[in-house]
Structures are given as C-alpha cells and as structure tokens.
Structure 1
Amino acid sequence: MAKYMILIYGDAQQWDAMTDKQWKAHDAAHEAFVAKAGTQIIDGQQLEMAPTATTLRSDSTGQIQTTDGPFLETKEALGGYYLIEATDLDEVLSMATLLPEVHASHSGVEIRPVVDHG
C-alpha cells in the first residue's frame, strides 16, 4: 500500500461565514469520508486558520527570517489534511470526492503520494 497526503485548501472568510446548518453538512461529509476510508486513515487534522501560521525562510545571507502568517498570495490556505494508505491514486480519488471542499467553489483538495524512503 502506498501513502497519500490529502491537503485541504479553502478561503478562511468563506469558512467563517458558514451557517450552523452549513457546518453540520460540512462535518457530515467529512464523517462520510472517514467512514469510507476507515482504517486506511493514518492521521488527519483540521489546522488553525492561516493567520496563526509562522513561516521560516532564509534570506540572501543565510540568516533565518521568521514571518507571522503563511507566505501566501492567494485567498486559499491550507486548512487541514488526511494521511491515508491506499492501493493506488484511483482509490484515493474515489474517497476524496466525498470531501466537502471538493464541491465548494472556494476550496479544493490536493493529493500527493508520500515518498517511501524505505
């Protein structure tokens, strides 16, 4: 089995504007994904909103610079992830279509295979 990281992106302003009813539907969709993936989920977490991030980068002299917030030039920011095991990308795609971020106009998911160094 290969490992895949599902990165969940969205617009924090859109998430903040969701009603209780929308959040319940959103959470139910994640529960459906978790039910389908079952024990294939290795880990998954919702992240705090992007402004709470801290970014480290080195400058031209090699000194480490710390910046509050993510290094973004877009409204979409990383909001959470799932790390799953699956037989192939097609299996991951089948599961990921259940995620509400795939269906919302302000968000989406990115799926990447995890490099196996072993």
Structure 2
Amino acid sequence: MSGYVILIQGDERRWQGLSAEERSEIDAAHREFSRRVGDAILASGELQGTETAVTVRRGPDGEPRAVDGPFTEAKEVVGGFYVIDVPTKAEAVALASLLAEARHDHSGVQVQPLVDHGAS
C-alpha cells in the first residue's frame, strides 16, 4: 500500500465566515476530487469545530489526561482529511492540488505518506 494522508488546514474563523459562493466552490472541488480519486479514497471526513475537540496527553501524575480543546500553538487547524492509496507521492500531491483549499489564502493542504508497518 502507498497510503497518504491529506490534511486540510486553515483558519477556522475564516471558514465560519465563508460566503455561500465560496462554500459552493469548495464543495465542487471536493466532489471533483472524489470523482477523480474514486476507490483510492480509503477514508475521509470533515471535522467539527475545535470547540468540540478533546486532547489526551500526559498529566502531572504521568497518566493520560483528557482536556477540552486541541491546544495547538497554531492559527491554522485541521478541518478535514482524506486517506488515499495511490502509487506515488507526486500523484498524491497532484490530486491534493485539486482541492479548493490549496488555492485559498486562508488554508492549505498537507500531503504526508503513511508508515507501512507491514513492509519488510
């Protein structure tokens, strides 16, 4: 398997303020992406807002502790993702470039290979 995760990142406040036209453009790009990638999409989803997130990390006693929020030190957050199975990273990048978020000034698209733990 040549798996890649595509993380759609952006400014959550800008996403919340998108016009109907901007949302339509983004939705159309996702439909085209899905049409082009087809069965190579292994999973996908849009995430709810960061106000619904919970982060689990080591607490003061060394045990895992759940706290509200993503608590990342970044303006941009992950808003959605795809996991795809394509032969090369170049193909994954070319497909990710179809997404409207790759063209907007308030977002970006990260492509990262998955580790294949079954490989020798």
Unaligned runs of 5+ in 2: none
Code of the residue aligned with 1:69 in structure 2: it is: G
Unaligned runs of 5+ in 1: none
Query: What is aligned with 1:43?
Result: 43
1:9-53 CA distance string (max 9 Å, x none)? 111110111111111111001111111111111110001011210
Count the aligned residue pairs: 118
Code of the residue aligned with 1:27 in structure 2: it is: D
Whole-angstrom CA distance in 1 between matches of 2:74 and 2:97: 23
TM-score (norm 2): 0.92
SS at the partner of 1:22?
helix
Residue pairs, 1:94-109, within 5 angstroms: 94-109=94-109
Query: What is aligned with 1:25?
Result: 25
Query: What is aligned with 1:63?
Result: 63
Code of the residue aligned with 1:80 in structure 2: it is: G
Question: Per-residue deviation at 1:54?
Answer: 0.1
Whole-angstrom CA distance in 1 between matches of 2:19 and 2:62: 46
Code of the residue aligned with 1:21 in structure 2: it is: E
Percent identical: 39
Whole-angstrom CA distance in 2 between matches of 1:101 and 1:56: 28
RMSD of aligned residue pairs (Cα, Å): 1.2
